[in-house]
Amino acid sequence: MIFSTNPFLLFFVAVTLLYWLVSRRASHRNLLLFAVSLFFYGWWDWRFVGLLLVTGGLDFYVAQRIEDSREDRGRRRWLWVSLASNLGGLGFFKYAGFFIDSASVLLTKMGILWSRPMLEIVLPAGISFYTFQALGYAIDVYRRQIRAERDPIRYFAFLTFFPQLVAGPIERASFLMTQFVEPRRVSQALVQQGVWLMAWGFFMKVGIADYLAPLVDLAFGSVAPWRMGVIAGTLAFGGQIYCDFAGYSTIARGVANTMGFELSPNFSQPYLSSSIQEFWRRWHQTLSTWFRDYVYIPMGGDRAGDARTFINVVATFTLAGLWHGANWTFVFWGLWHGLALGFYRLWQRFRPAGWEIRIPGLSWLVTMAVVALGWLFFRARSLDQALSMLRGLGVPDGPAWSGSLVTAVAWGLAGVAVVDVFQRRCPWSRVKDWSPMLRGVIQGVLVVLIISRWGKTASSFIYFQF
């Protein structure tokens, strides 16, 4: 079920009413949330519900075995079971075709004839998100940071919590599971925050991301890329993916708020960053911290010298790129960001005294250029297309509609800028003290803009494919 569709609105109203009308007992509400979350997920394909329950159920069992094991060896063995099942499932559904294709290309280039098996594997929605959440839970139990959950309903309510099930934020059990246990303090401020976040989230998705989507398709669909088309298309995609994903995360947080839950922020105006390091502190924060805690730090983090730190950063980002999708374009995107961050850290460490960028806005411009080049690879269908588009930067003349594309993209990017600057200057901590009238009027304007574009272009969320 996609947030920006009529079925979800009906679902949300029905679930919220049910949620507040049924018994206030935690166990009843957890059961209700678990049931509606399965319905939400099964809306795509009921077969995937089985997969979710099986893989999630295995982690539920494994976490208890980890906790019950007296010896470290036993704990480690059970952790490997969790790693193998989670990463094995992810690998099969998401990467089997990719690795077989890549092997086929490699073998063909080596002159080895190989009959490639034809696999038609359907990727279950949100598998990368809920797999990481379940994996994080098992690792946290292994590290003795949390206790294993013994109540299956509570555990599954945490794992399948519908606002964040298919596209995050990727939550830690220490933060979200506890909310299914402890009595939640539902305040009018929390509900108002939820409504405020939902209004902004829907505006970002429906008003901006869906507006930019066909412009990106036009630019990236061109068989003869040209300079302004490549620049405008890449910038438009940067705006689209941000408003699409941040919009989703913001709606998810808002929906959770209306039911008394808090979810972690996932984006904090990343396009206002002045360094690549700052960008990654503001972009997809829950994935970044997941990779930091479960990949980068176990690899040694920054504790083993500059060279090793550089390698760890690059390797972690390359893996994060692969997490996004089974395509070399994503791997390159991760590698690009890893290299950028690795070199940035080295620059920060070894920069000669006085070598600082003093031109206002230059560091922001350089950061955005690095990010934009990454987006070009991220959006391209293949590395060949990405390279073709890069070559297009040298082609000055485009089609007759090049000017219209630039104008249309400029409108969309202006929308992105307005959203980011507004949210930076007016975070909820400030907005909550505003008068109800001012908040209501702003919400009303956002609702008008949302309704005006609702259903005009029905597009799924980009991150569902990941």
Partner 1 sequence: MRPQQELKAPSMISHTYEPEWKQAGLSGLWTVVTVLAVAVMLQVGISMKALPPASLRQDPDSVILGTKGRMAREKDSAAVVFVGDSSCLVNVDMATLSEAGGVRGVNLGLLSYLSIDSFGRIAQEALAVRGPGRIVLVVHPEALRLAAVSPPHEKLLAAIFDDVPVEIWGSPNPVARILGFDEFRDRVVNRIIPEPLRGAFGAHYGFSGDLEKELLRSRGTMREARIFDPKGETASGEYRLAKRIESECRGFRGRLPVGTRVRIIISPVPASIARKNHESQMADFQARLENWLGADLWVSKMPSVLPDSQFATVTHLLPEASIQYSQVLRKRLIEGP
Contacts with partner 1 by CB under 8 A lie at: 24-30, 143-147, 149, 174, 177-178, 181-188, 191-192, 195, 214-215, 217-218, 221-223, 260, 399-402, 404-405, 407-408, 411, 436-437, 439-441, 443-445, 447-448, 451-456
Closer to partner 1 by CB, 382 or 407: give it: 407
Q: With H, G, I as helix, E, B as strand and everything else as coil, classify residue 389.
A: helix
Is the peptide bond preceding residue 169 cis, with omega within 30 degrees of 0? yes
Closer to partner 1 by CB, 211 or 248: give it: 211
234 vs 232: CA distance, rounded Å: 6
8-state DSSP, 462: G
255 vs 242: CA distance, rounded Å: 19
Q: Please say if 284 is a catalytic residue.
A: no
Task: Find the catalytic residue in 28, 284, 324, 337.
Answer: 324
Q: With H, G, I as helix, E, B as strand and everything else as coil, classify residue 432.
A: coil
Q: How far is the CB of 144 from partner 1 (least distance, A)?
A: 6
Q: How far is the CB of 66 from partner 1 (least distance, A)?
A: 13
How many CB atoms within 10 Å of residue 182? 9
Closer to partner 1 by CB, 352 or 396: give it: 396
231 vs 244: CA distance, rounded Å: 20
Q: How far is the CB of 447 from partner 1 (least distance, A)?
A: 5
Q: Are 266 and 285 in contact (CB under 8 A)?
A: yes
| Matching residue, tokens 């991150």 | 463
183 Cβ contact partners less than 8 Å away, ≥ 6 residues apart: 26
Closer to partner 1 by CB, 10 or 441: give it: 441
Closer to partner 1 by CB, 251 or 371: give it: 251
| Matching residue, tokens 């008394």 | 260
**Token digits of residue 16:** 């919220």
Q: How far is the CB of 444 from partner 1 (least distance, A)?
A: 2
Q: How far is the CB of 24 from partner 1 (least distance, A)?
A: 6
Measured distance between the N- and C-terminal CA atoms of the chain, rounded to whole angstroms:
16
Q: Which residues are catalytic?
A: 324
